[in-house]
Amino acid sequence: MSIIEKLSVSAVRNIHGLEICPVPTVNIIHGENGSGKTSILESIHLLSSGRSFRTSKLEPLINSDQDEAVVFARLADGKEIGLSKSRRQKHRLRLHSESQSNWENVARELPCQILDSNSFLLLEGGPKSRRQFLDWGVFHVEHGFVESWRRTKKSIANRNLLLKQRSPDLSQIAAWDFELCLAAREVHRAREQYFQEFLPLFLELYQRISGGDVDSLQIQYESGWAAGRELEDILVENRAIDARYGTTQSGPHRADLTFRLGRNKAVDILSRGQQKVLVSTMKIAQGLLLSQALGSNCIFLVDDLPSELDHDNRAAILSQLVSMGGQVFVTCVEIAGILDSLPGQPKLATFHVERGTITA
């Protein structure tokens, strides 16, 4: 069970030193804008994945007065995870007192889903955001996926290096084509299988949460190369084009999800509030699928839920999150907007943040 029992944060943005003991259910973090609410969620996400959901840059993440940011969590099963990120040295990550060379084991122990303003990128952003969404789900339900994914990444990187040469070595390109295609088949198979399990679950949840008709909503998974054709043939045919651009144009790194309402792109039809309901439901469906596959819940980090959502949609999303039985962290400016949207009387904890410090 992925439940944070104790969380300590030091020098993440404006948090100088903070320690909380969250409850296993709903934790509400409230305070004025700029108080440090989101930085608490960011710290949990950083510990879980090694990345911020707000920036790709290290500099603004670490408090300007400090050289190192530290995040520590003790889970309900006794496992401890600690991370230090430094301006001058390589990060240090430990899981239950053992050093970790990457985030694979930690990510499995502490799966986190973030619902924030960047979630809109699933609809209006580029394919990369949608691939990351898809691969997060596949990673957690099929352990062999990450190795195939790494092989495709390595193959494409090496193939691109060869393509950029003035006189590319065709025999070496062919060798990397072979390796890429082997790994790409596994990546595509795992993604396609996951998507087939995800889609009906999502549509059921979306109808329940939005209360609308989902018949006109179409979501399709695209592999990254022409449907019905072998990737091997496409790589050979497009070798001259790839060499001209210096990049591999077809492959699993070009995979995407498309969203349409009838003949139109969903992002062009749905209001901002409707988009937030859709992307929130997608994240919730991923969490539910993980729970069904592994018998363990992921942690939901919900930043500024009231924004762009009316009371009914806010209540529907919170109701679904609470019913899943996992740990939820919700930030808001006005706590009343969350309390009046919570179904029933779930056990909850509230934390008031002011200038990076818990005051109540």
The mean pLDDT values, 10 residues at a time, for the chain of 360 residues are 92 93 95 93 95 84 90 95 91 92 93 90 92 96 94 97 91 96 97 97 92 84 95 96 94 96 91 91 95 90 84 90 93 89 84 88
Residue 151 CA, chain-centre distance (Å), reads: 21
Q: What pLDDT does residue 358 have?
A: 87
Domain boundaries, the chain: 122-271
| 267 Cβ contact list (under 8 Å, min separation 6) | 123, 124, 259, 275
The residues that bridge with 29 in the sheet, in sequence order, are 331, 351
Count CB atoms within 10 A of the CB of residue 114: 21
Tokens 């084509």, residue located: 177
Residue 45 burial (10 A CB sphere; 0-12, 13-18, 19+):
buried
- What gap in Å lies between CA 183 and CA 345, rounded to an integer? 49
Q: Which residue has the tokens 């449907």?
A: 227
3-state SS of the chain? CCCEEEEEEECECCECCEEECCCCCEEEEECCCCCCHHHHHHHHHHHHHCCCCCCCCCCCCECCCCCEEEEEEEECCCCEEEEEEECCCCCEEEECCEECCCCHHHHHHCCEEEECHHHHHHHHCCHHHHHHHHHHHHHHHCCCHHHHHHHHHHHHHHHHHHHCCCCCCHHHHHHHHHHHHHHHHHHHHHHHHHHHHHHHHHHHHHHHHHCCCCCCEEEEEECCCCCCCCHHHHHHHCHHHHHHHCCCCCCHHHCEEEEEECCEEHHHHCCHHHHHHHHHHHHHHHHHHHHHHHCCCCEEEEECCCCCCCHHHHHHHHHHHHHCCCCEEEEECCCHHHHCCCCCCCCEEEEEEECCEECC
What gap in Å lies between CA 352 and CA 16, rounded to an integer?
A: 16
Residue 359: per-residue pLDDT: 84
CA distance 78 to 55: 31
pLDDT at position 327, please?
95
Q: Check if CATH label 1.20.1050.90 holds for domain 122-271.
A: yes
pLDDT attached to residue 1:
62
What is the reported pLDDT for 6? 97
Helix 272-294 and helix 127-141, axial crossing angle in degrees, nearest 10:
20
